[in-house]
Amino acid sequence: MSDMFPLTVTGAETRRRGKILVGPVDLTLAGQGSCVVIGPNGAGKTSLLRLLHGAARLSTGEITWACDVEQAHHDQSFVFQRPVMLRRSVEDNLMYPLRIRKVPKAEARDLAHHWAEKVGLRDMLKRHAPVLSGGEQQKLALARALITQPKLVFLDEPCAALDGRATREIEEILNAVRATGTRLIMTTHNMGQARRLADEVVFMRQGRVHEHASAETFFDAPASEQAQAFLNGDIVE
Amino acid sequence: MTDLWDGISRAIWMVLSLDANLLEITLRSLQVTLTALVVASAIALPLAAFLSVRRFRLRRSVIALLNALMGLPPVVVGLVVYILLSRSGPLGVLGLLFTPTAMVIAQVIIIVPLIASIAHQSLRDLWAEYHDLLISMNVSQWQKITTLLWDARRALLTAALAGFGRAIGEVGAIMIVGGNIDNATRVLTTAIALETGKGDFALALGLGFVLIALAVLVNLAIHWLGRTEREGRW
């Protein structure tokens, strides 16, 4: 399924105005399941996702995909912590990524209706997207990211501002997507969510990958004191 | 005072009876201004979108220049266009001086900076909102521009209406390049100036009423568009 993996990151660093936002990072990700990136605030989780996605400029180092980089970017999408709604209807928001890829209008509309049904927005297709509730906007953002059938989806704290019910709905969608073989790389502050969704964990601290292990290994026996402290809920710098 | 009231009552009657002369001048005004508006919008809106999404060395200078050109004195624009289009000028061979086309050219030069500046402010804000999403979707430069123009359409229409308001009330430049020729280049503003000079306050006031009505209509349209913007009705 994921012929874009393994993803290899070697000495990658991103800086802004001379300050290192993330890095140097060395990381290899295989092509299955969901990878959850955790760590304290300011650890560089979002910056790492943006760097891998190509949305942040690589200052030094290298990021290589198993396929051509253009193809890799074509086959991935990104869901932001604060969903960005195009000032259009729900239907037009869903159709947008397809239309920019020249998918015929009728086909794009059918797919939009299919995905709206899947995420429970079927009755809201004609509504103006920016007036939806936070949970509805995040579901729409997720459906819009998935409608092109990407092989990899980055999710930056997709449930950060949502209540329990909306979080559960989003997690159900993510589990269904993961079951189809789509690779998920997401950040979260919610340890319960990390335990529920993660196949592997990347623990970040001070802009670097501090630990990278399978979810079972990480949650049962973290290798470092800082990771253990973080899991215990202690304050980790 | 009696003259004034007499003038006002005659002016009202001219408007209500759709006086042929008044109607002709009004229609010519609309024709010239709407043509200028379409041409200016076709230049200013893509320019504003380009300046919002593209980073290049002189970008800030271009934006500053556009803002400065909003205050361009119309009389100077008229003078420059006159020189360019006059028989001895570089474009004299086109024979456009004292035609509605010359008036359209002058109005376009006056309102392009205004429309582009107002549009740029709206598009810049929208681009800040959309930036990460569109970058993450690998959207091409052209698609970014068309997406911004479509999604900011209400704000852009407001910018265009502001341009219309400026153009319809313009007198200095079009007086110079149009010549205020009866049945050819006479429009509302130049006719008001002429009739006032002749002492025909009735026609001048009648023309003034129409001009005010157009300005009010434009403002009402802007107000209504602002409301639909907030409600996202179209």
B41/chain A closest Cα distance in angstroms: 21
Residue A185: helix, strand or coil by DSSP?
A: strand
Q: What is the mean pLDDT of residues B122-140?
A: 94
Give the DSSP per-residue string, chain B: -HHHHHHHHHHHHHHHTT-HHHHHHHHHHHHHHHHHHHHHHHHHHHHHHHHHH---TTHHHHHHHHHHHTT--HHHHHHHHHHHHSTTSTTGGG--TTSHHHHHHHHHHHHHHHHHHHHHHHHHHHHHHHHHHHHHTT--HHHHHHHHHHHTHHHHHHHHHHHHHHHHT--HHHHHHHTT-TTTT--HHHHHHHHHHHT-HHHHHHHHHHHHHHHHHHHHHHHHHHHHHHHT--
Give the DSSP per-residue string, A208-234: EEEEEEEHHHHHHS-SSHHHHHHHTT-
B40/chain A closest Cα distance in angstroms: 25
Identify the segments of chain A with pLDDT beneath 50. 1
**Best B123, B125, B137 residue to mutate vs chain A (most A CBs within 10 Å):** B137
Nearest residue in A to B133, CA atom:
A84
Asked whether residue B13 carries a pLDDT value surpassing 70, the answer given is yes
Q: Do B133 and A100 touch (CB under 8 A)?
A: no
Q: What is the mean pLDDT of residues B142-169?
A: 92
Task: Tell me the per-residue pLDDT of B196-215, one tens digit each, with 9 for 90 and over.
Answer: 998 888 878 888 888 898 88
**Best B134, B138, B139, B227 residue to mutate vs chain A (most A CBs within 10 Å):** B138
**Strand bridging mode A60-64 / A152-156:** unpaired
Q: A17: alpha, beta or left, given left = phi > 0 and alpha = psi -120 to 50?
A: left
Sheet containing A7-16: give its strands across: A19-29, A7-16, A60-64
Q: Do A77 and B130 touch (CB under 8 A)?
A: no
List domains and CATH numbers for chain A: 7-82+152-159+181-231 (3.40.50.300)
Asked whether residue B1 carries a pLDDT value surpassing 70, the answer given is no
**B13 or B84, which is more confident?**
B84
Query: Can you read off the two tokens belonging to residue B45?
Result: 């809106």
Chain B window 96-125: which residues touch A at a Cβ cutoff of 8 Å? none
Q: Which residues contact A16 (CB under 8 A, 6 or more apart)?
A: none
Average pLDDT, chain B: 90
The ipTM (two decimal places) reads: 0.87
pLDDT band for B68, please (50, 70, 90 cuts).
Answer: very high
Task: Give residue B3's pLDDT.
Answer: 67
Q: What is the mean pLDDT of residues B106-134?
A: 95
Nearest residue in B to A130, CA atom:
B232
pLDDT band for B2, please (50, 70, 90 cuts).
Answer: low
Task: Give residue B151's pLDDT.
Answer: 94
Asked whether residue B74 carries a pLDDT value surpassing 90, the answer given is yes
Rounded Cα distance between A140 and A91, Å, is 10
Asked whether residue B174 carries a pLDDT value surpassing 80, the answer given is yes
Task: Give residue B178's pLDDT.
Answer: 94
If interface means Cβ-Cβ distance under 8 Å, which residues of chain A face chain B? 53, 55, 73-74, 77-78, 80, 84, 86-88, 96-97, 100, 128, 130-131
Q: What is the torsional sign of CA A121, A123, A128, A133?
A: negative
Question: For residue A99, how many C-alpha atoms fall within 13 Å in the half-sphere facing its CB?
Answer: 16
Q: Which residues contact A62 (CB under 8 A, 6 or more apart)?
A: A8, A9, A10, A11, A12
A231/chain B closest Cα distance in angstroms: 31
B52/chain A closest Cα distance in angstroms: 17
In 3D space, the residue among A122, A68, A70 whose CA is nearest the CA of residue A91 turns out to be A122
Asked whether residue B231 carries a pLDDT value surpassing 70, the answer given is no
Q: What is the torsional sign of CA A213, A217, A220, A221?
A: negative
**A202 or B1, which is more confident?**
A202
Task: Give residue B229's pLDDT.
Answer: 60
B24 touches A: beta carbon within 8 Å: no
Residue B208 CA to chain centroid, in angstroms? Answer: 18
In 3D space, the residue among A194, A160, A184, A202 whose CA is nearest the CA of residue A34 turns out to be A184
- Straight-line distance from the first to the last Cα atom of chain B, in angstroms, rounded to the nearest whole number: 50
List domains and CATH numbers for chain B: 2-231 (1.10.3720.10)
Q: Do A86 and B151 touch (CB under 8 A)?
A: yes
Q: What is the mean pLDDT of residues B83-89?
A: 93
Rounded Cα distance between B232 and B63, Å, is 29
pLDDT band for B6, please (50, 70, 90 cuts).
Answer: confident
Question: For residue A104, how many C-alpha atoms fall within 13 Å in the half-sphere facing its CB?
Answer: 3
**B12 or B212, which is more confident?**
B212
Nearest residue in A to B149, CA atom:
A87
Q: Do A130 and B143 touch (CB under 8 A)?
A: no
Q: Which residues contact A181 (CB under 8 A, 6 or more apart)?
A: A1, A2, A32, A151
Residues of chain A contacting residue B233, judged by C-beta atoms under 8 Å apart:
128
Rounded Cα distance between B160 and A35, Å, is 49
Q: Do A97 and B137 touch (CB under 8 A)?
A: yes
Query: Can you read off the two tokens belonging to residue B60?
Result: 């800030």
Task: Give residue B201's pLDDT.
Answer: 83
Q: What is the mean pLDDT of residues B105-117?
A: 96
Q: What is the mean pLDDT of residues B182-209?
A: 89
B157 touches A: beta carbon within 8 Å: no
Q: What is the mean pLDDT of residues B60-85?
A: 93
